[in-house]
Structures are given as structure tokens and as C-alpha cells.
Structure 1
Amino acid sequence: MKRLLSLFLIISACGLLITGCSPALTLSQFFSPVTFTGYLLKSDDATLTLLCQNEGAKEPETSVFDLTGLPQGSLPETGSEVKITLKAGTDTESLETQGDPLPVRRLEVLTASDAAEKSFHSLLAEKLLAGMSLEEKVGQMFFARYPGPAAPEDEKTWQFGGTILFGRDFKDKSPDQIRAEINACQDAARVPMLVGVDEEGGDVVRVSGNPAIRAEGFPSPQTLLQKGGMDAVTADAHEKDALLKSLNINVNFAPVCDLSQNPADYIYSRTTGRDAATTAEYAKNVAGAMTSDGMGSVLKHFPGYGPGGDTHKDFSRDSRPLETFESQDFLPFRAGVQAGAGSVLVSHNVIEAMDPDHPASLSPKVHEVLRDALDFDGVILTDDLDMEAITKAYGADTAAVQAVAAGNDMILSSRYTIEIPAVVEAVRKGTLSEDQIDASVRRVLAWKMDLGLIEN
């Protein structure tokens, strides 16, 4: 009888204690502490922020936890999947309403950061996406041509996802000046920007063409292969990455994956000048080196330039059969994708075997081939929409809307002040689906996370 009375008093006392804490706190909560499972977003010595998808919630949520009750020790890395058990009797609703951290009794690592990276990035992308307006989402889909001194203000206004610099943007400038200009743009960005350049080597050397940055321009792919083979190619890729990263550039629009063994072809001097197998090996080595260095790579110009003319100046048609593309032109692109390339750029050539009515960059059929034949789920990017192969036939607003409808995730152009509003308006009118916009922005955000631009 005494034991039963003691147990009754203990239970009664617990009930009074629970009722005193909060009417919402039940006896079962007292004896079964609350747990949270999610991904470590950030932490310091005293607190930890967890990103998690709670049941019934429309978007990922964050919760902050008090770590002072845990034994001293190293914390898991950002992105690790963890399970947190709260101290018994914690009134989570009351503490979260007051903005106070939740007291932790136990922290368990369920999945290390490396293994959990893809899931963590996916959830973080959803969190970022949920906080964006339609205008901000569309802005993320533009890789805008660097507008010079107006760049920080334009970035503040339009929030484009990336900017690409050309030779004029490096001319007569010191490395410190270039870094300062890029940093000013990044400071205006609510989501860190992709900062790109064409540094192929040979004819296209936007950065190393400035003697204040490098004594001489990087050599062409053909020169590298002739003088040192694939070892020289790989070493050159690493050197380019180091130089570009020192200037705060995080994307190089390379490697060129086009095939040409005819010196009369427009694209020939920018290619390896070798066969499909050698060019595929070249693409694999360059893209692999860039991936290991944390430098964004852009495979170009899908589905393969071949004998096509200069689309900077005019329309160009390619009448080769589909079998040629499948057996030859696709090989370097496939090798680059398998080596970790984050983006593929689509040309403005009309590929008659795939779509005789549209430039590849504006063709849904070509984009379907890229997704399916190469099993590619990264960022698809247009060639510059200001090239005359496009401007002679399409207005800026029409071209941008058609580019998104075709399946591009990002648009390369300097006319973003016309094109961003045109895409936004097309979504509002129902011409374009916001679900498609969201899918593209997810890919852009995933690419940025892979490059370490977005950490928390």
C-alpha cells in the first residue's frame, strides 16, 4: 500500500509539474522526450541549427538547439544527418514561440556529411526556393553579361544567378581591381553568384590575354596535345583553375567538346583537332580536373558544332545524320558529364536531324536528347542570345521565353532588363509553368552548392 501511495504521489507531482510548465505538455511527453531528425545547417560552441522537413509542413523548417548540456567534443560537419533528443520535459512549443533554443540531451549522427550531401542540398534548395519571389527565381536563371560599373546595382535590382566577364572586363586591370569588382557584385547578391569566363586557351583567353595577370595566354588544346599529351592538358586545367579562383571566378566556360579535323571549319582552332575518342579523353581530363578543383565547367557547344558556320554572325544549319552525332559528337559530352561537369551549353546551330525548324538552343527536341542520351540532370545553358543567329530571327523577349520553354535552365545574355520581365510575364500569363521555373532554379542552386558557394 505504501509503494502504491508513493507511486501515486510521484505521478501526481509530475502531473502538477507538467501542468505548471504548460497546459500543452502531457505526461507522455515528459517520459518520452521529443526528437528531431534533419541536417546540420550551422553550429557554434553553444547552439546548433537544424534543417528538417517536418510532417505536414509545406517547406523545410529550421530549429535552433542549445548544446550547453552536452559533453564537450567536436560537432558533426555541416550537412550531416543527425538525430537530436531533447531533455525530458521540454516544452518545445513555448520555447520556439519565445525564440529560445531547445535544450539537447543527446545528439546522434545518422549519416556523415559526404554521404548525406545530395539529400542535404536538395532540402536546402527547397528552403531557399520557398523564400524567393517569382522575379528572384527568374533572375537566378540568367547568366548575365557583366555590365561594367553598373554591375553591383544591376545585381541588386535583378538578382541574376550568374555573370560572365569578357576580355574588355579584364583589360588594363590588376588582379586586385578584378577581385574588388567581383566582390562588389557578390555583396549585392542575396544568393551567391556564379562568376564565369571563357578561358579555353589559344584563340579564347579572356583572362590570360591580360599581361598583368599572366605573362602569356594559355595555349590551345591542340598545342597542349602536340607538346605534352594528356598530362599537359590536365596540368593546364589545374593551372587555369588556380588562376581563376585567385580572382574569385568560379566557372570556366570550358572545355570545348566539339569535333573538327578540318582547318576550314569555323570551330576548328578551338577544338583538339583530333578524333572523337581523343576529344572524349580530353573532355574527361579537363572536366575531371575542374571538378576536383571545385571549378564549375561548361561543356560546349552541344550537340556538337562540326562544320557549322559562325553563329555570332548568322544562321547556320547542320545537315549531318543523327547517327553521326550519336556515334561521334556525343562522345566528348558524355565523357565530360561522367567526369562531373555541372553544365552543358547548347549552340544556335539548326540540327536538321533533330529539329529542322529551330536553333538547337531554342529546340525542345534537342534538349530532350541532351537529357536522355547523356543522362544529364545538371544545368543546361543557352549560348549567348545576343548572337546574330538569334537576333536576326527573334526579339529579345521572344527568344528568352522560347529558350525557357525549350528546357534551358539558364540564359546567357546581356539584355536581361528586357528578358527577365518577359519570362516573368510569360509565367503570369500561363505561357510558362512556374513548376518548370522551380525545377530550373533547383538545378542552379544545386550547382552553386556543389561549387561551395552556398553552405548554409
Structure 2
Amino acid sequence: MDDETLRRAVNATLMPGFEGPDLPGWLAAELAEGLGSVCLFSTNIVDAGQVRALTDAIHAANPAALVATDEEGGDVTRLHHAAGSPYPSMASLGHLDDEDMTERVGFGIGAELLAAGIDLNLAPDADVNSNPRNPVIGVRSFGADAGLVGRHVAAYTRGLQAAGTAACAKHFPGHGDTATDSHLALPTITVDAATLAARELVPFRAAVEAGTLAVMTSHILVPSIDPDLPATLSAPVLALLREDLGFTGAIVSDALDMAGASGGGRGIPEAAVLALAAGCDLLCIGTDNTAEQLAEIRAHVLAAVAEGRLPQTRLLDAAERVAALSAAVAALRDAPGSFLTRSSSGTVKPQDPRGEARHEGPPPLSASGFWLRGPVAPLTAPVFLRLASTANIAAGDTVWGVAEHLADELADRLPGSTCADAADLAGLASVLDASAGRPLVVQGRDLARVPFLVDATAMVLQRRPDALVVELGWPELPGAIDIATYGSGRGAATCLIRLLAEGSR
């Protein structure tokens, strides 16, 4: 086979990210040479008009290229990173356990992505969050019960793809039973094959049966299946997806710049070779890639083919599966059974899955997805105190909880409210002194897991036993909390404001 064909085959398997709101020249050139996909992150998104112009430019450079992003809803959002996602988290949807609502949320997110020119959503999260101390999944998961997670993964997938956006269930074979973030190290799940099949694989089977077009791998070690290599780089682990679950779509790697894949001296180029050899088709590279980095990866992959470490047939198969995914997205948007309609001008518009008027934006949300220790009385002019914590790396640096970015909502529902933050115990003591005599609402993410938050919560309850303690992360119930919102995004925060203004009913 000629060198140019192999070069374009390698290009088809790569999905880099880049910095900034405009398509750089080097990336346009890569797209013209057959680059398979581009992943958008928060740094690429300013507003609706800008992101549509960006995706149009990507598709103009290569009409077959897939534009991907992580738009899970709740805490993980790219389109709404500046203001917070109006959609509930997956944990909130799982707690509510209304599959129709989950499907509508998937549809609403899919419709927004379609309008933005984005083809592939790296969602839903199909992890069973069986470890409550999980530092990277948490409220991104629908829950800790495999059957419940499976039902909602299927519903979200149906809604998303009904709107014309491809789903990508993640993180195969399941990142829920870990206490390590694979961005920083290599987590291990110590379960036997039977437990894996009965728990972790259940939601992925549901996603496959619901027709998901893609599945994303995880950088976790599963010694019962492969004691040596993480799932992304492991042929035995990915064989579970192909052979046991019967998945025939595209397998997408999690980002290869994460330590779980390229750490330990392996490097991204070698991780790319191993991922392709194991069965991955589309390689997520990272967030701020360069032409030089892609050239290095491409050269390393081609050398591996020449050396016989990567079969040429496997490389070509991966490129063909990426092309099939691109074609499937086009077919999804034109399928007779889809919920897409065309206006008189030919513009594609999503139609509500229930055959009603076209649904735009998130469905009506309420605090019914919250956990409440008991009745909540209406508050007057409270102080909202956020206890600082490091952002989940997958979510990135975005607004969260009830804070100044929700000033208009507070003025409307709870006039006279003020917001404060505390990053250490001294700062917390100052806020507690200043808020004496006023209702106090304390918010934190993972209050039982992060040491500072454990100490801060104890201090609050000692000095202000009347304070309302709100868990915005994964709750350990009952614990020392009054309300669990199952997420810290804008949708959860506005529902919390409404609950505190009106009281529980």
C-alpha cells in the first residue's frame, strides 16, 4: 500500500484539541489531509455565533470530519462553561429516576449541539459510581445501581441521537469503582470478571442496545482481564466490548495526554500505537495540541506499521470505522425514523421525541431531583457561603453553586441575599462572624471526601447549628447535610434558589 494512503489512514484516527476560538491554519491543513475529528473544549467556545462559525470552518476544511465535545449536562459543560449548564447532572436524573425526563434532557442537549454544528457528544457517562469517594466520576454518573444506570444511559442515548447528535458512552469498561483520577495516575479496579459483567458492563450493554454510535475507553487497569495494560491499550479488555457486548461502532480513546495512558515514560505517540493495536479507532489526543505533536504521533504510528508492531489491516480498519461513524451521523440526521424535520429553507430542526411542539432548551426543572433531610422552610435574605474545592479536571474551571454569577436569580427570588467564599478555616471564621443573625446556606462539593471540607463543615455546625448544609457533589447519606442537589451546575443552583425561596411542599 502506498505511503500517502497509510498517512491519510493515520490522520483519520486522530482527534486533537487546540487553543482559542478560531481555527488555526495548521489544523485547517491537517483537516485537508484527512484528519478524522476535532475536539472542542471551553477555550474554543465564546458564544453561539462564534462556535457555529468555528464548526462551519472545520467542516469546510473537511466535510467528513467529526466535531466532538463533552456536553454531559450538570457539572461538565463546554457550551455553557461561562454561565453553567442549565441541564441537570446525570446523578440528579438518576436520583429522580424518570426515564422520560432523562430522554428529554438528552434530546435538549443534542438539539443544542446540532445547532452549534457539533456532531459527536462524548456522553453519556455509563459508569456505575459504586465508590462514593470517586474523585473524577461522582455526579457525572446516574448512580450506584447498575440497572438504574443502564436504563438512564439508554434513555439519554435515545434522546441525544433522536436530535441528530451521536452519543459516545464512557468510560469503558467502567470508571466508577476507583479512588484515583486517571488524569493524574493509573487507577485499578480489583473486581473479578463475573462482578465486572454483572455491574460495570451492564450500562454499556444498555448503550449498545440503544444504538450508541460510539463508546469511549478508560485509562484504568483491570487485572482480572489484563494485569499489564490499561483498558485503552488492552486488546483483552476491548474484546469484551466487541465480542461480549457485540458493539460494531467506533471505539474512541479517552485523552491520551492523561497520565493513565501516556504516563510512566510511555508518551503519547507510543500510547497511540498501543491504543490502535488494542482496538481503538479514534484517538482523543488532548486539549492544546500542535502540528508538531501530530506529526510526531503520525511518524511513530507509521513506524510501528513498518516494524510490524501495528498491523496495517488494524490501522485501515480503524480509519474505516471513523469514516463509518461520520456517515452514521449524516444518516442519523436524515433517517426516516428520526425526530428531525426540515424548515421551508431546508434547515434541519429537531422535533420533540413525543411528537409535540419542538422542544428547545432544557425541560422544566425542579428540586424533585434533590435529596432533603426534612422539610425546608422559606428563607429571607440568606448568606450563601461556598467552601472552596479543586474543580473536577473533567469539568474544568467553570462557575458553580450559588454565587455572584446568579445575582439576577437571587434578586428575583431571594432579594437581599449575599454570597461569600471561604478557602481556609480562617476565612470561614470571618464569614461566620459577618453572617451572624442571618440565615446561612453552606455549599460544598464532596463534603465527606475532601479534608478541608470535612473540617469546614464541622466548624460550621459547631458555630451555626442552624445553618443549612448543601452537598453539591456526590452525597454520602445521611451525613452532616440537609440538602443534596447531585450537581453544582446552573440548573441545580437555580432549583436550589427556588426551593429556598418557596420552601419544600
User: Please, what TM-score do these two structures have when normalized by structure 2?
Assistant: 0.60
- The alpha carbon displacement at 1:152 in A equals 4.7
SS at match of 1:452: helix
Q: How does 1:18-417 map to 2 (within 5 A)?
A: 133-148=5-20, 149=22, 151-157=24-30, 158-170=33-45, 173-189=46-62, 191-211=63-83, 216-227=85-96, 229-266=98-135, 267-308=137-178, 309-393=180-264, 394-413=266-285, 414=289, 415-417=293-295
Greater strand percent: which structure?
Answer: 1
**Equivalenced residues, count:** 321
Larger Rg: 1
CA distance in 2, matches of 1:361, 1:232: 32
Q: Does the 8 Å contact 1:153/1:188 carry over to 2?
A: no
Closer/same/farther in 2, CA of residues 263 and 295 from structure 1, 3 Å limit: same
Alignment partner for residue 298 of structure 2, among 409, 420, 429?
420
SS at match of 2:15: strand
Q: Does the 8 Å contact 2:261/2:271 carry over to 1?
A: yes
CA distance in 2, matches of 1:357, 1:406: 13
SS at match of 1:419: helix
Counterpart AA for 2:221: V
- The alpha carbon displacement at 1:392 in A equals 2.1
Q: Does the 8 Å contact 1:261/1:268 carry over to 2?
A: no
CA distance in 2, matches of 1:224, 1:143: 30
- The alpha carbon displacement at 1:346 in A equals 0.8
SS at match of 1:145: coil
SS at match of 1:255: coil
- The alpha carbon displacement at 1:150 in A equals 5.1
Residues 1:434 and 2:434 are matched in the alignment? no
Q: Does the 8 Å contact 1:256/1:270 carry over to 2?
A: yes
CA distance in 2, matches of 1:395, 1:422: 11
Between the aligned residues of both structures, percent identity stands at: 29
Counterpart AA for 1:387: M
CA distance in 2, matches of 1:154, 1:376: 31
Instruction: Specify every segment of 5 or more residues in structure 1 that has no aligned partner in the other structure, as ranges.
Output: 1-128
Aligned residues: CA RMSD:
2.3
CA distance in 2, matches of 1:146, 1:329: 33
SS at match of 1:315: coil
Q: Does the 8 Å contact 2:268/2:297 carry over to 1?
A: yes
- The alpha carbon displacement at 1:430 in A equals 2.9
Q: Does the 8 Å contact 2:107/2:162 carry over to 1?
A: no
Q: Does the 8 Å contact 1:263/1:269 carry over to 2?
A: no
Q: Deviations over 1:153-182 (max 9, x none)?
A: 324235320111111211xx2211111112
SS at match of 1:246: helix
CA distance in 1, matches of 2:294, 2:193: 34
Instruction: Specify every segment of 5 or more residues in structure 2 that has no aligned partner in the other structure, as ranges.
Output: 334-505
Counterpart AA for 2:188: R
Q: Does the 8 Å contact 1:194/1:251 carry over to 2?
A: yes
Counterpart AA for 1:144: P
- The alpha carbon displacement at 1:239 in A equals 0.6
Q: Does the 8 Å contact 2:23/2:54 carry over to 1?
A: no
Q: Does the 8 Å contact 2:131/2:176 carry over to 1?
A: no
Higher relative contact order (CA 8 A, sep 6+): 2
- The alpha carbon displacement at 1:263 in A equals 2.7
